[in-house]
Chains A and B, each alone.
Chain A
Amino acid sequence: MAKKKGESGAVATAPEESTPVGAASAGANGAGDGGAAGGADGAASTEGPGGAPGGVPADGEDAAENRALLHSMLLQRRFEERCAEAYAIGKIGGFCHLYIGQEAVSTGTLSLLRPDDYVITTYRDHGQALARGMSPRAVMAELFGRVDGCAGGKGGSMHMFSKELNFLGGHGIVGGHVPIAAGVGFAIKYRGGDQVIVCFMGESVVNTGAFHEALNMAGLWKLPCVFLIENNRYGMGTALERASAIHDIHERGAAYNMERDFCDGQDVFAVRRTVGAAIERARREQTPTLVDIRTYRFMGHSMSDAVSGTYRSKAELDEYLKRDPIALLRVHMHERGQIDDAAVQAMDDEVKQVVQDAWDFADASPEPPLEALYEDVLVDTTS
């Protein structure tokens, strides 16, 4: 099996390094190179997030597409900022894991999927739910524990679901959802379909047994799965280098005869190129891929975790903040004259209004009635 390491033009951030290469402009240049290389295929991906047909995209030259990507990422950013605020005043309870800093991963990936493809993810799931097209109202109402939430208020932050969008959850046990993704891949193959399943996971998942069991079966049976490691460098407070015997974790795919790759997760175009190739492989060849997407979370592990302190330094965080995925995309678009400051401001204002509307909607939505307590434990049907 061919080794595909870095083929898709990822920026050269060695995994052993603890600081990112370059600032925003360097990342944007890297993306621009890739975009020029793939320009001939631009027509294959001119639709915005959520509606794009399959196909490895040409990157960065389509202004409308880039605006849609920026909008998707900005929506997640502003949404999560308000989540932090809502958590602080007790409107959101329990565990709450924010996605800030990783938006290029969700947007880049989900902009490539068809509506009939499947998505499954971890407990850090707000961003992917939004990028998949779930209503911000339904996500916020779920966070507020209200009846109009996407799971009727019974799931909360870690358990976003939408059957309509083939969004198979938000799963709370690290690694537990990876075999489920293999099962969805099995079902696709069973039915002879050409859909794919994209499975997001944090880098700490690669040390769980479930990951290895699932990837072995996906490799053995050639299942149309795209396993995406959102490598934000820390499993809670434990750095990758303190948890994994190897640091190029996409190489774990070698043990399962699986194509593998890595890319810069702060560059939405790098994500689209690399993940796009994996999606195409799954769709056309029905073979799985393991991708290590190197990103960083700008917030703590959860709302109870300081942004920096015991396990990572302020200096490290500051370095990564220079490679904010939204800033990188904005610079890229500015350089090409695809957007100006006024348009960015207008988009930001609009997104903030959407999030405010989601907040107001969630706030006005009632709590689930007490009758709901015993509902949906079992269904009373048979086939």
Chain B
Amino acid sequence: MPVITYRDALNQALREEMQRDDRVFLMGEEVGVYNGAYKVSKGLLQEFGEMRVVDTPITELGFAGVGVGAAMVGLRPVIEFMTWNFALLALDQVVNVAAKMLYMSGGQFNMPMVFRGPNGAALQLAAQHSQAWESWLAHIPGLKVVAPGTPYDAKGLLKAAIRDDNPVCVLEGEMLYNTKGEVPEEEYVIPLGQAELKREGDHATIVTWGKMALVAQQAADQLAKEGIRVEVVDLRTVRPMDTEAVYASVRKTNRCVVVEEGWPHSGVGAQVADSVQRDCFDHLDAPVLRVHQADVPMPYAKQLEKAAKPDVPKTIAAVRKVLYLD
């Protein structure tokens, strides 16, 4: 099976879906001539032309709204935010229009569109460029929120997002674009809303998604050397959430750690913990613990940034704690 980067997996997904359906177009800053700020859209302008790979001014609110309008009348826009940090300027279109249109029109106008771009912290980009937005987006009824952690998932989930007749937010990992993994040549689509057991174990469950799936795997590798067998549930889709997959694992291991990139307050991990305490109460042998970014704006200085981020040592410490080893 070919081994390709996360970036190329996304590129393949876009290319295949644009070949499959001429209503699909890509719009955003630098997606065309520049080949994408992160080169995800490399080569697409040459293949599909400037009507379907549309460079915009720096005008997030505006082009998100253009996508919304195009979706209302039957096109299938893929709106790229150079990063989700910039999408805050466009949230009125995402939250007030795309998410609500079907409901407030009494079911008349569905919104077949994708908002996508890199999410979360990279390296030393400081406070305004280092944020994970899934808890904000997943809060909103009417949106689906996807956060792939591997090249295989990135391709399959983006293809599913483009085919979905609802607005789907795809949160790509800025630090994942260069990561590699196996991606089959034959076509596949990963249904939205299905978690995947990335690793089997019986001592404790780690629930995670997006970039943190990698951190969870690395933590599990190290814990395995101590004889601790961790199960890793990768949600892949944050909303709708595959809680049954989480429950099945927690009922097996009786312990649950949530690893997330965002801040703790009102985070997605809080939602997971709420669900688990309600539906797995009798199965829990320890409180649900969360690993997350420190509850501060992201600092620039290397040492402070490292201290702020969720990582492998913090994940290991949390797992050991739910096992009462420390």
Of the residues B66, B112, B163, contact of A186 by C-beta under 8 Å: B66
**When the two chains form their complex, are residues B103 and A217 in contact, meaning their CB atoms are under 8 A apart?**
no
**CB neighbors of B among A255-314 (8 A):** none
**When the two chains form their complex, are residues B62 and A214 in contact, meaning their CB atoms are under 8 A apart?**
yes
Residues from chain A with a CB closer than 8 A to the CB of B72 are 168, 180, 183-184
Interface string of A150-188 (1 = CB under 8 A from B): 111111000101110010110111001111111111111
Tell me, yes or no, whether A345 is within 8 Å of chain B by CB: no
Of the residues A187, A209, A217, A379, contact of B166 by C-beta under 8 Å: A379
Interface string of A108-139 (1 = CB under 8 A from B): 00000000001010000000000000000000
Tell me, yes or no, whether B165 is within 8 Å of chain A by CB: yes
Minimum C-beta distance from B171 to chain A (A): 18
Residues from chain A with a CB closer than 8 A to the CB of B165 are 379, 381-383
Minimum C-beta distance from B162 to chain A (A): 8
Tell me, yes or no, whether B67 is within 8 Å of chain A by CB: yes
**When the two chains form their complex, are residues A182 and B69 in contact, meaning their CB atoms are under 8 A apart?**
yes
Q: Which of under 10, 10 to 19, 20 to 34, or 35 or more describes the interface residues of A? A: 35 or more
Number of interface residues of B (CB under 8 A): 47
Residues from chain B with a CB closer than 8 A to the CB of A184 are 69-70, 72-73
Interface-centre pick from B23, B107, B166 (highest chain A CB count, 10 A): B107
Of the residues B66, B67, B75, B108, contact of A163 by C-beta under 8 Å: B108
| B-binding segment of A14-22, A332-340, A370-378 | A370-378
Report how many A-B pairs have Cβ atoms within 8 Å: 152
**When the two chains form their complex, are residues B105 and A159 in contact, meaning their CB atoms are under 8 A apart?**
yes
**When the two chains form their complex, are residues B61 and A377 in contact, meaning their CB atoms are under 8 A apart?**
no
Interface string of B58-93 (1 = CB under 8 A from A): 010111111111111111110000000000000011
* 12 further A-B pairs in the complex, CB-CB below 8 A; given A152-B107, A210-B61, A378-B166: A168-B69, A172-B96, A176-B97, A179-B65, A179-B66, A183-B72, A183-B77, A209-B61, A214-B62, A217-B56, A378-B144, A382-B165
* A to B CB contacts below 8 Å, 20 in the list: A118-B73, A155-B105, A159-B104, A159-B105, A163-B108, A177-B97, A179-B68, A183-B72, A187-B69, A187-B70, A190-B25, A190-B51, A190-B70, A209-B61, A214-B66, A216-B57, A217-B57, A377-B103, A381-B165, A383-B76
Q: What is B's interface to A at a CB cutoff of 8 Å?
A: 21, 23, 25, 51, 56-57, 59, 61-77, 92-93, 96-97, 101-110, 112, 141-142, 144, 160, 163-166
